[in-house]
Amino acid sequence: MSDPKPDLAELEPAELETVVTGLGAKRFHAQQIFRWLHRRGHERVDQMTDLSQSLRAQLDAACTITTPSVTDRVRSADGTEKFLFTLGDGRTIESVFIPDTPALTFCVSTQVGCAMRCGFCLTGKMGLTRHLTAGEIAGQVRVLARELDLQDSRFNIVLMGMGEPLHNYDATMKALRLLAAPEGLAVTPKRVTLSTVGLLPAMAKLSEEPWIPNLAVSLHATTDRVRHELIPTSRQQRIADLINACRRFPLKHRDRITFEYVLLAGVNDTEADATRLVGMLRGLRAKVNLLPLNEAPGIPFSRPSDEQVDRFARGLARGGVNVSVRKSRGRDIGAACGQLIIEGGPQRTVAAAP
């Protein structure tokens, strides 16, 4: 049977107040508890030393705290660090810390595996094992901040690890609210980027949220035929519908939607592709982030030459598109974009995501 005790790590401040006052304690104690968990990264009630011993005993008896635990940590020659987290049920996920992109950046997961099955991404080969809870998503960030001694520093968060964030919509949005709470890490929407293949109903719902992160749309093709081959779950959707949804998405002054585009040799890197991409983005406040494929066993595509990547980028720039080429980070430790896969049981990790 599942534990009926409330998990303090899953509770937003108002929910935590309800639990605390239900134990007969004062409302302000909820802020103290939230601060211990999310700001300072502590995992046990007995570490919350500004609470009375009697309240700590009550909380210990009535509640639980679930925190992803670090079971492996590897550092790349370029400073990127990959963290293997073990969850309460023994499943494992990975998160990545990139120290200068140019800001400090945490790349975190929202699911164990992924259901989108993108043909160029190892994570898609796993299929979907389960969604992460809000506490597990936010927990990656609070543990990373603690392990890296960054609790008092500004950092960015990208939801680009394992999983499709909008497929796990409610837990993802609750996690972002937990991270945004001023009693905790106070991460603002400007410092969070959510990457999605473009689940249109969920994008429409996201556009109406009071808390909207930066949006990165995984496009990866300029024709429906190629996109449907690369992203099987997009077969009920036209690129034109996705672009129109992006045009309707609310943007603040000077904000842009990022379009992620993995370059695959001979598949989506032609001059015609660049011309079509310029045309479909015309009039849209957008930037294109080109990602030359990080090749890996099991991926049936090749990386274009540097010369072809440069030609494609120059073609976009000549058409007036704001374009950048993402530098691959952490490849020597299996932490490059699109290469996260966990196989052979909950404790074995093979590779990781950006």
Q: Which residues are catalytic?
A: 94, 337
Query: What DSSP state is assigned to residue 218?
Result: E
Three-state secondary structure along 109-135? CCEEECCCCCCCCHHHHHCEEEECCHH
Query: What DSSP state is assigned to residue 9?
Result: G
Residue type, 7: D
Residue type, 305: S
Question: Which among 66, 64, 116, 77 has a CA at the least distance from the CA of 237?
Answer: 116
3-state secondary structure of 144: helix
Question: Which among 123, 301, 312 has a CA at the least distance from the CA of 222?
Answer: 312
3-state secondary structure of 76: coil
Buried b (16+ CB within 10 A) or exposed e, 219-234: bbbbeeebbbebbebb
